[in-house]
Chains A and B, each alone.
Chain A
Amino acid sequence: MTETAFQRQKDLPKSHLLSAGTPMCAGCGGLEAIHIAYDVLGENTIFVNAAGCMTLLSVYPFTPFRGSWLYTAMGAAPAGAQGVRDALDILMDKGRIEVADDLDVVVLTGDGSGYGMGISATSGTIDRCLDYLYIVYDNEGYGNTGQQYSAATPHAARTATSRCAYGHKGFKKDLFSILAANGAAYVATAIGSEPLDLAQKIEKAKSISGPRFIITLAPCPTGWDFDPKETMTIGKLAVRTGVWPLKEFTDGKVSHNKTFSKLLPVETYLEQQGRFRHLFEPQKKEAVLRDIQNSINRYWHEVATI
């Protein structure tokens, strides 16, 4: 990233475009990311939303957005974006609106839609080279319904539907690789606790045409069971422990934006969250913790050797 308006933290916008007073939970990591994204995108944006926590941002007759909003359904937001994008192009082609009237079409969904119900619609937009940005706020479960496990839930996490001693038996889906393999123009991971990196990625995504994706990990105090004031800390630990690699896919290549000569042990991240407490109490589940650490090590070993 050579050309960027965001060199340092102090280059980030001083005031937020998204109004305060939304019904999101205190310490919502998703909202943190959306604030930054919206500041960079600007108000000539239409958010096309699927069922999830953020659906409650716009509840009649209120909206925190200066620009437009369209709620669709849980599996349909990318298709909603298709109709809006195509219609705007038709209107410009036929001279019925000015180019200045154009909007950035941005899909906003959680992981329930992004990793699961909407993935066919998402894949379709990549097949059709739709020019839009898709922001996933990934809080690793069906958060709006009380944090049941989803396709984005990490291994061993306790959720409302994996309360057993072990936690969630499945593994987090690698959405980044799926989107890249499908032929997306741009895929990035990001997190609200690294606002400079996120702003740079939104800025970069805005400069590219085609289907673009930014998957933001969204630490979730209610779903992950931690104090809302810890959102930033937990987000930073997700990066520092290597659990959430910050990376980009562009021009056929994956590059990592933040690498560390030595990762913090994953336990420092896990032990702060109630959803992993069963791995430490009543006695430490060494084997499970070792498996989790090994999978992280294996990932970063592969990154280093590519």
Chain B
Amino acid sequence: MKRTLLTGNGAAAWGARLAAVDYIPAFPITPQTEILETLAYWVDNGDLDTRLVTLESEHSMITAAGSSAATGVRTFTATSSQGLLHGMEMIYTVAGWRVPFVMVNVSRGLAAPLTLESDHNDIMAARDSGCLQLHCATCQEVLDSILMAYRLAEHPEIRLPVIVNLDGFYLSYTREPVAIPDDDASRTFVGEFDSGSIHFKAGAPLSHASAVLGGSTYSYFRYSQHLAAQRGLSVYEEIAEEFARTFGRRHDAVEGYRHEDAEYLFLMIGSFATKGKEAVNSLRDAGWKIGLIRPHMLRPFPVERIYSLARGKKAIAVIDQNISMGKGGVLHTELASALYGKPGAPPILASFIGGLGGRDLPYEELFEIAKTLRDSAAAGATPPPRLLYTETELLEMRKLQAIAGVRIPFEEVHHD
């Protein structure tokens, strides 16, 4: 094992390298491209015995990832944002093929308007696809999750693609100290690729992904896929346990931070959760009983794990770095469905949306969210959902709009 500074993209490339992948269908997109470039450099140098092919689109890239996994090789790929959506038809399709491979998504906001910076609407669009999802908060977790993701994807009871998600810029381009596991230990942990019953070769004819007629046949396969995805939680917990024994690092399906005696909780995913933890530390210093829970696994949704951590709390703030237009935060909805009607479920489930398109989530806002939780719990009423945006931001926005020729309402800037 060696410890070095790696970006999230570098950590992702190391994950693929240590998993001894056979095949990498690729396509560049910001902020993911460094993963592809790093792997291509290793392949060219002979450090990695892997075939890397750049396709002409993510739609083709994900198709090739699925069909290579179906033919019997360990496959890795990576994308982001528009690329993920361009390939979305195939994300659903290859999950239905029940083929195991690992894809990294470097989260970036979706157009329009076009942006390069991070939020989670891209990965949320893949939520219902059948691909399992692991969401990372640190560069170390990116590397470790990829190793665990191969075990999860290839497990005979699961056999589904796994997406490992990391935030663009905040992780992709940020250097953090990362322990790189030994080659041998990693390979022993991940094991040999076994494509199971799905492989194309002469003398073993196989019709795969055929059409079906009728809702019963269709439903049977769809339910099977759902049940396989649900088995992902218990299988993941076994894998994470073995990972902790082997490498000394534990990555629970749901991380709890200073939550045990807490009355209030933040629920966050991804890299902003590390900032959430710092806010918890400050609030604890000021005497607040507050903690944080962070689902590392988002599909399958670890309902029981979240319930056990949330049970008995006075209020939870779900901070969504995504927005379901016309509804609100996706995680807020998911959490409500996981907790509703259960004994001891927190009576207050507040929704906050922030961090869209790379927008920061400053500590002041996290403190304000904590105050809202406390006030709401005291009043016994869930507050309306909040779209986080400051007056300063609005003022800056108005300056841009003035340049763009938008007429600014007099009342807004003129305060008597």
Contact = CB atoms under 8 A, between A and B. Distances in A.
B101 to A, nearest CB: 10
B70 interface: yes
A189 to B, nearest CB: 25
A287 interface: no
Contacts of B73: 86-87, 90-91
Interface string A25-69: 000000000000000000110101000000110111001011111
B90 interface: yes
Contacts of A79: 55, 59-61, 63-64, 67
A82 B55 contact: yes
A124 B202 CA distance: 26
B212 A59 contact: yes
A90 B22 contact: yes
Interface stretch (B203-211, B302-310, B365-373): B203-211
Contacts of B211: 55-56, 58-60, 71
A69 B51 contact: no
A100 B202 contact: yes
Contact of A127 (B56, B65, B217): B56
Given A79-B55, A83-B67, A88 B201 contact: yes
B378 interface: no
A87 B68 contact: yes
Contacts, number: 159
A92 to B, nearest CB: 10
B389 to A, nearest CB: 39
B213 A59 contact: yes
A82 B57 contact: no
A44 B204 CA distance: 9
A250 interface: no
Contact of A70 (B55, B65, B67, B201): B67
Contacts of B209: 70-72
Contacts of A242: none
Contact of B64 (A71, A80, A91, A97): A80
Contacts of B67: 48, 70, 72, 79-84, 87
Contact of B203 (A72, A94, A101): A101
A20 to B, nearest CB: 17
B23 interface: yes
B173 interface: no
Interface string A105-148: 00000000000000011011001100000000000000000000
A82 B61 CA distance: 9
Contacts of A87: 22-23, 67-73, 200
A73 interface: yes
A195 interface: no
A83 B200 contact: no
A75 B59 contact: yes
Contacts of A121: 56-57, 59-60, 63
B65 A103 contact: no
B200 A94 contact: no
Residue among A55, A56, A80 with max Cβ neighbours from chain B (10 Å): A80
Nearest to A103: B202
B125 interface: no
A109 B138 CA distance: 45
A55 to B, nearest CB: 6
A204 to B, nearest CB: 22
B89 interface: yes
A89 interface: yes
B71 A60 contact: no
A87 B65 CA distance: 10
Contact of A73 (B22, B63, B70, B75): B63
Nearest to A58: B210
Interface string B357-368: 000000000000
Nearest to A44: B202
B93 A70 contact: no
A101 B201 contact: yes
B25 interface: yes
A83 B63 contact: yes
Nearest to B24: A86
A94 B49 CA distance: 10
Interface string A3-36: 0000000000000000000000000000000000
B56 A83 contact: no
B381 interface: no
A34 to B, nearest CB: 15
A74 B211 CA distance: 13
Interface in A191-235: none
A143 to B, nearest CB: 16
A84 B210 contact: no
A197 B386 CA distance: 70
B53 interface: yes
B25 A65 contact: no
A96 interface: yes
Residue among B22, B53, B57, B200 with max Cβ neighbours from chain A (10 Å): B200
Contacts of A102: 201-202
Interface of A: 43-44, 46, 48, 55-56, 58-60, 63, 65-73, 75-76, 78-84, 86-91, 94, 96-97, 100-103, 120-121, 123-124, 127-128
11 contacts: A59-B212, A72-B67, A76-B89, A76-B90, A82-B55, A83-B75, A84-B70, A86-B73, A121-B59, A124-B56, A124-B60
Interface of B: 22-23, 25, 49, 51, 53, 55-57, 59-61, 63-73, 75, 89-90, 93, 200-213, 217
